[in-house]
Amino acid sequence: MTFKEQIPRIYPSDEEMNSRSVKFSDLKGFDGGLPDSYMPSAERILYNVIGFQPPAGEESGVVSPVGASAARMSAIKISEGFNLGYCEALPGKGPMMHNHDTNETFICMTGRWKASWENADGSENFKMLEPLDVISFPPGAVRRFENVTEGPKDRYAVLMFVIAGNGPGAEFTSQAMSEIENAGLNESKILEDESDKWSKPHTDPRGWESRY
């Protein structure tokens, strides 16, 4: 009996596939656009590689997981139900506690990362991620991640994240927002209509790609 295919075939052109591929060295990183961007402990560079469009509830305090500017500059502009990006951070750096309206999966690429989440009693739990380890958070789980790599304090590590949806939304916890406000470091108050200031051309001075 001859097998009958059920999934329709398509035949992408070279031009279409060129628009669906990108060199890491050509990516543009952003270190702003999120409520905690000015908090010293939360400094990081985010790369919108695939997908990410602004969430529908952007005006109500819900933000894109990659920030307002990066959400409008995906390197591969497709909307097929998922998004992919990278985070670079120095040791001791990572976002404050926040929530997502869709699944978020982390894959450690280099270094060592601590993925934490909040328990019902307000305490924290965590898993340590070594290179190529994976953790997947369900929608609604309050979480954060932090580079905890030992060694030089000026050496970045890389975390990959895959987030479900076409325009996923993130929301920082009320505790995190209070801490930001009390520090006077809410990005929306400090920086208005200067998103280009946050654009960082990627020069890859650390050569992390060469490790693989």
Domain harbouring 150, CATH code: 2.60.120.10
Asked whether residue 106 is domain-assigned, the answer is yes
Whole-model pTM?
0.88
Which of 81, 84, 82, 35 has the alpha carbon at shortest distance from 61?
A: 35
Does 78 fall in a domain? yes
Predicted confidence (pLDDT) per residue in 106-146, tens digit = 999 999 999 999 999 999 999 999 999 999 999 999 999 99
* Gap between the Cα atoms of 24 and 108, Å rounded: 16
**Residue 53 pLDDT more than 70?**
yes
Which of these, 5, 4, 58, 10, lies nearest to 34 by C-alpha position?
58
pLDDT at 197 over 50: no
Assigned domain for 201 exists: no
CB 84 within 8 A of CB 160: yes
Range of the domain at 137: 28-195
Domain count for the chain, please give it: 1
Q: Are 49 and 78 in contact (CB under 8 A)?
A: no
Region of 198 on the Ramachandran plot (φ > 0 left; ψ -120 to 50 alpha; else beta): alpha
Question: Could you give the CA distance from residue 38 to residue 181 in angstroms, rounded to a whole number?
Answer: 11
Does residue 81 lie in a domain region? yes
Q: What angle do CA 58, 34, 37 make, to 5 degrees?
A: 170
The answer, yes or no, to whether residue 206 has pLDDT greater than 70, is: no
- How far is residue 152's CA from residue 167's CA, in Å, rounded to a whole number? 36
